[in-house]
Structure 1
């Protein structure tokens, strides 16, 4: 089993010792129950990881480690952004968790036309904060070098701008839809510098959204024979994409 991963602001250089405290230190000491002589990995969430040995444990939230090997992991290509229409509140974090474990690079929460959940004012700030916390936790669980970016709540104008830019730059914009005319497996992702997956709410993208984003270079794409829940679609699409590109190197 691979050593557990904990987040720090700055990864120590090889040979240096550092004390992990606060929430990460507490998790290491009281939840994971790390002991002197065991090994952990420290990461900054921006690609740098350090293999470390625990040299001291004190109190309930202080773990001192010494770094040995330090490596930088480049982000996978192509970059993948999922535009995720906001699911119902009790399932929203699950979507982010699954997409993070499946390797998403960025998630853009979107208040699409058919969303039942509504993020307004402070609720939007709280929702984005929860998604970011979920992404950090899921990335740690998955031993990912990179924590995916969670953008602020997007308007349809923001989504249009993203899709237009990626399509103009030679990327792929896939609008996941059960009635899509194009199959996911037929798309050539091999030369795409960037991929955007647009996922509607439980009611799906409405006709106006489909027409608008298609006009900007998007393709209505059917992922497979089953109709997926909005919280699962992103993770399934990321898995399919990893299998047909170099994003999954092992």
Structure 2
């Protein structure tokens, strides 16, 4: 039977008695009703996992002892940065969980010229915190070892500048004549750019091409923005990552 799994901050691991607090402590004590001497699994978001045993438990704090550590084997061989133009309503919130499950390493939300205005200032900080929380919960469920980096919302120029470290660059655009194609050479770091509901402006597409981006389509049908994002990451993981290969499951 798989152990219950919880996130713990990396700096907490090296303490004499690591602790879990907050909502996870309440869940352990009140919902799961775990007791002293029960074993659980921990992940620190950096790719490292731990088998731990409960020393004492309450709804405020759970004290642990670490018994062993292991590396997770569930990360994709290709590092994927997904730059997503801001979408309306709660669509961005809804994308974080499946994209984390599908293996993105970095999420770069940005304002495209056709993005519908979204909250700024305090409202945007709250959304960023929510995205980070959703990503942690998704990692807990899908048994990844790494929590994706959730970057602050920026502009299109910042996205293009960040692509300099990538050896693969793709902008998915409904008006391109180029279908998605498997690259001839192995790609270690790839950036994908997906647009808002209204698509990209021609100037943005040209700017991306000037920075070495290839344009790619997703078939003859016009997809909703959020559907296009999930289709794009699935294609990339299948062709460049690990979705097309049967890899051994992580053993705790």
TM over 0.5, shorter chain: yes
The one of 210, 214, 238 equivalent to 1:215 is: 210
1:154 positional shift: 1.3
**Contact 2:136/2:147 (8 A) holds in 1:** yes
Residues of 2 paired with 1:189 and 1:33: CA distance? 53
* Partner residue in 2 for 1:183: 179
Residues of 2 paired with 1:69 and 1:152: CA distance? 35
Per-residue CA distance 1:78-101 (angstroms, 9 max, x = gap): 210000111113222111111111
* Partner residue in 1 for 2:68: 69
Matched, 1:227 2:226: no
Query: Secondary structure in 2 aligned to 1:77?
Result: coil
Q: CA 1:4–1:178 in 2, change beyond 3 Å: closer, same or farther?
A: farther
* Partner residue in 2 for 1:50: 50
**Contact 1:190/1:245 (8 A) holds in 2:** no
* Partner residue in 2 for 1:157: 157
Q: CA 1:6–1:206 in 2, change beyond 3 Å: closer, same or farther?
A: same
Query: Secondary structure in 1 aligned to 2:174?
Result: coil
Structure 2: tracts of 5 or more residues without a match? none
Q: CA 1:224–1:55 in 2, change beyond 3 Å: closer, same or farther?
A: farther
1:35 positional shift: 4.1
**Contact 2:187/2:240 (8 A) holds in 1:** no
* Partner residue in 1 for 2:170: 174
Question: Given the two structures, how large is their TM-score scaled by the length of structure 1?
Answer: 0.84
**Contact 1:95/1:232 (8 A) holds in 2:** no
Query: Secondary structure in 2 aligned to 1:183?
Result: coil
The one of 221, 239, 245 equivalent to 1:244 is: 239
* Partner residue in 2 for 1:87: 87
Please report the RMSD computed on the Cα atoms of aligned residues, expressed in angstroms: 2.5
* Partner residue in 2 for 1:100: 100
Structure 1: tracts of 5 or more residues without a match? none
Query: Secondary structure in 1 aligned to 2:18?
Result: strand
Query: Secondary structure in 1 aligned to 2:176?
Result: coil
Residues of 2 paired with 1:95 and 1:87: CA distance? 10
**Contact 2:182/2:240 (8 A) holds in 1:** no
**Contact 1:47/1:73 (8 A) holds in 2:** yes
1:176 positional shift: 1.1
Question: Given the two structures, how large is their TM-score scaled by the length of structure 2?
Answer: 0.84
1:36 positional shift: 4.6
Residues of 1 paired with 2:67 and 2:53: CA distance? 8
Per-residue CA distance 1:188-214 (angstroms, 9 max, x = gap): 175212111101111111211111101
Residues of 2 paired with 1:177 and 1:66: CA distance? 51
